[in-house]
Amino acid sequence: MLIVFGIIVAALVLFATEPVPIDVTAIGVMVALMVLEPWTGITPELGISGFASTATITVLAMFILSHGVQRTGVVQILGRKISQVTGDSETKQLGATIGVVGPISGFINNTAAVAILLPMVTDIAHEGNTSPSKLLLPLSYASMFGGMLTLIGTSTNILASQLAGELAAAQEGATRLHEFSMFEFTHLGLLVSVVGTVYLLTVGRWLVPERIRPREDLTEEFQMADYLTEVVVREDSPLVGRTLGEVLAETPLDVDVIQLVRGGEVFLEPLARKTVRADDVFALRTDRDTLVELVDTEGLDLVPNVQVDEAELEAASEGENLVEVVISPGSDLVGETLATASFRERYDATVLALRRGPEVLRERLDATELRVGDTLLVQATTDTINRLGVNPDFIVAQEVERPDFRESKIPLALGIVAAVVAVAALDVLPILVSALAGALAMVATGVLKPTELYDAVQWDVIFLLAGVIPLGVALNQTGGAALLADLVVMSADVLPTVAVLGLFYVVTALLTNVISNNASVVLMIPVAVEAALQIGANPFAFVLSVTFAASTAFMTPVGYQTNLFVYGPGGYRFTDYLRVGGPLQLVFAIATTAGIWLFWPLTP
């Protein structure tokens, strides 16, 4: 038991601090449990059981179903229609954001829902002269409580369902415990969704800060005035006759060439093979001190009376080519720098600035290690931006052209998802089977290409699930869950059952804000079931409390992937999540506990 507790403590520290990705930590936990088999009781067969669990495979299939819906463009079409009626009313914009993402998150992965809707919400904000900060945090929060509407809303629900079923088979007296059906807790999900919506439209609206002003100019938003300038090459410049690639490779100075203007023609990336000529005009990103050094040593003159802003850059190239790009979870760029990833050469794009929450970096960008949620201000051609828009490594924070949408497949994609839900809800087939059949149908009907199946899956989530599932088994087998339950049961001597239920919600909610929601469920459900049995309570009610709490990581940007999505684009500070999410967490603790008490008996 002590060995397992030691592994749990180490895992919690690694989950919270993330020196390595959380899926790597999860696999490390799995390996540690197997290596220490004499003490943990986790044989190799049990250790790898997470890869074959119904929860893991079901989540994998749901990622494919979500991606199929995404590839049709139906959500973007819905977003455009909604943006036509929101106008400049912040109330309508906020209501539309919550009203769209909540129901969608009940049926497709909520991480995917936020990734799809983020550009739409950003555009709605700017077109309506509203700060995007006022809408993006509610977008993330609404996706979380929207995911609690159905079994398939989040991977957490699916995992909790499997754990409940396994414990029901293993625990004597757990007669009310069972796997979740498709809409088993939808009425509770609706209750908390209504409570959350009312909060975000009233108190939350007042608490959400306006970190970013409504965008009139992206260069102004990133405060680039002192970092953008234009220079002209003199005839005696030592740069004449050399390629830009050679010049940039050799210079130790912090400078980026954004665009080249030559004889009235504008060139964007790729610029490396362009040979420098006299009278070439370059738009540069650099700081004032570096600019002085460049002018002195490289034979350049400043172009007088020119303000390099978004309008100037886009007017010169006759197209929209300045956008915000967010680094998505699972991106190959996470942990890399712009230099090590060869960003300029790889994507034919130039990064002018990087925003991480409230912090904006404009110097030495090539040496900055990239993280999930980082927002890059990118200058590129329209074609390049469209390619970035279809690249899973990025979320382009403005709507871009997506000619590859398969709009003709919309009825098929929606029909397949509806069939999966109906078959599982009517108990014709288990959700595992219906979801896999639906994923196969997505390919058979041409909604997805076979090669897109693997790109559709968020493999970090799959490996996270597979890695942490054996931890719950070890906690249960060694008696750790029973010991922790004993400590909780001591509170039942002075607290009523409903208060103990609320205590589990609060503990799980606090835990899920610093570690993975799936890890929280794995650790807390065995303890909750054991405690419920010891105090003579309904274990199913306690499982629901833990499940709902694990999907409400409102208080930190690292608690849930969707919070990281909006961290950079919203310009939020870490404390903003605590200020807005803390009261919401408390409201949800009360509403969820009261709802469970109202809808399910707390005692057998």
pLDDT tens for each residue of 376-412: 888 887 778 888 877 878 888 776 666 568 888 889 9
Q: Which of 186-195, 211-220, 459-468 has the highest mean pLDDT?
A: 186-195
Q: What integer pLDDT is reported at residue 437 of this predicted model?
A: 94
Q: Which element (helix H / strand E) includes 228? A: strand 228-233
Please give the angle made by the CA atoms of 580, 584 and 589, to the nearest 5 degrees: 155
Please check the confidence at residue 82 and state whether its pLDDT lies above 80.
no
Alpha-carbon gap, residue 486 to 497, rounded angstroms: 15
Q: Where are the domains of the chain?
A: 226-308
Say which range, 145-154, 233-242, 307-316, 510-519, has the weakest mean pLDDT.
Answer: 307-316
Q: How far is CA 410 from the centre of its chain?
A: 25
Specify the amino acid at residue 365: L
Q: pTM value?
A: 0.81
Alpha-carbon gap, residue 190 to 188, rounded angstroms: 5
Specify the amino acid at residue 549: A
Please check the confidence at residue 139 and state whether its pLDDT lies above 90.
yes
Query: Residue 188: which pLDDT band, with cuts at 50, 70 and 90?
Result: very high
Cβ neighbors of 319 (< 8 A, separation 6 or more) are 381, 382
Q: What integer pLDDT is reported at residue 12 of this predicted model?
A: 79
Query: Residue 373: which pLDDT band, with cuts at 50, 70 and 90?
Result: confident
Alpha-carbon gap, residue 105 to 118, rounded angstroms: 13
Query: What are 340-346's contacts with CB under 8 Å, separation 24+?
Result: 341/370, 344/256, 344/269, 344/272, 345/270, 345/272
The residue-averaged pLDDT of 62-74 equals: 86
Alpha-carbon gap, residue 324 to 377, rounded angstroms: 5
Say which range, 47-51, 160-164, 248-252, 544-548, has the weakest mean pLDDT.
Answer: 248-252
Q: How far is CA 251 from the centre of its chain?
A: 37
Q: At what angle do helices 497-512 and 539-550 cross, to 10 degrees?
A: 30
The residue-averaged pLDDT of 435-456 equals: 90
Q: What integer pLDDT is reported at residue 219 of this predicted model?
A: 73
Query: Residue 251: which pLDDT band, with cuts at 50, 70 and 90?
Result: confident
Q: What integer pLDDT is reported at residue 170 of this predicted model?
A: 75
Q: Kindly state the tokens that stand for 553.
A: 């990581």
The residue-averaged pLDDT of 206-222 equals: 79
Mean pLDDT, all residues of the chain: 84
Per the CB < 8 A criterion, the answer to whether 105 and 151 are in contact is no
Q: What integer pLDDT is reported at residue 316 of this predicted model?
A: 52
Nearest CA among 573, 543, 571, 568 for reference residue 555: 573
Characterize the bridge pairing of strands 375-380 and 349-356.
antiparallel
Please check the confidence at residue 593 and state whether its pLDDT lies above 90.
yes
Q: What integer pLDDT is reported at residue 443 of this predicted model?
A: 92
pLDDT tens for each residue of 414-423: 999 999 989 9
Q: Kindly state the tokens that stand for 54.
A: 């119904």
- DSSP labels, 298-358: TTEEEPTT----HHHHHHHHTS--EEEEEEPTT-TTTT--TTTTTHHHHHTEEEEEEEETT
Alpha-carbon gap, residue 345 to 329, rounded angstroms: 22
Say which range, 72-86, 266-280, 446-460, 522-536, has the weakest mean pLDDT.
Answer: 72-86
Nearest CA among 46, 25, 22, 23 for reference residue 34: 46
Nearest CA among 545, 536, 480 for reference residue 173: 536
What Å distances lie between residue 245 and 124, 235, 249, 271, CA to CA?
39, 20, 6, 7
Percent of the chain with pLDDT over 70: 95
Q: What integer pLDDT is reported at residue 589 of this predicted model?
A: 95
Q: Kindly state the tokens that stand for 464.
A: 């996270």
Say which range, 16-20, 156-160, 593-597, has the weakest mean pLDDT.
Answer: 16-20
Please check the confidence at residue 375 and state whether its pLDDT lies above 90.
no
Q: What integer pLDDT is reported at residue 438 of this predicted model?
A: 93
226-308: in CATH 3.30.70.1450: yes
Q: What integer pLDDT is reported at residue 579 of this predicted model?
A: 92
Q: Residue 229, SS3?
A: strand
- Per DSSP, 243 falls in state B
Query: Residue 353: which pLDDT band, with cuts at 50, 70 and 90?
Result: confident
pLDDT tens for each residue of 91-117: 888 998 898 888 988 888 888 888 888
Percent of the chain with pLDDT over 90: 20
Q: What integer pLDDT is reported at residue 136 of this predicted model?
A: 92
Please check the confidence at residue 565 and state whether its pLDDT lies above 80.
yes
Compute, in degrees rounded to 10, the torsion defined by CA atoms 156, 162, 165, 169.
Answer: -130
pLDDT tens for each residue of 334-350: 888 888 888 888 888 88
Burial (CB < 10 A; 0-12, 13-18, 19+), residue 506, is middle
Nearest CA among 114, 109, 39, 121 for reference residue 80: 121
Per the CB < 8 A criterion, the answer to whether 435 and 61 are in contact is yes
Q: Residue 395, SS3?
A: strand
Side-chain-side CA neighbours of 554 within 13 Å: the count stands at 29
Q: Kindly state the tokens that stand for 64.
A: 């494919």
Per the CB < 8 A criterion, the answer to whether 354 and 368 are in contact is yes
Please check the confidence at residue 317 and state whether its pLDDT lies above 60.
no
How are the residues of the chain apportioned to helix, strand and coil, as percentages rounded to the nearest 5? 60, 10, 30
Per the CB < 8 A criterion, the answer to whether 294 and 255 are in contact is yes
What Å distances lie between residue 64 and 37, 117, 146, 452, 586, CA to CA?
35, 18, 19, 9, 35
- Convert 47-62 to b/e letters by CB count within 10 Å (16 or more is b): bbbbeebbbbbbbbbb
Q: Enumerate the β-bridge partners of residue 283.
A: 230, 259
Tell which wins on pLDDT, 326 or 544: 544
pLDDT tens for each residue of 549-563: 998 889 888 778 888
Place of tokens 């205590």: 503
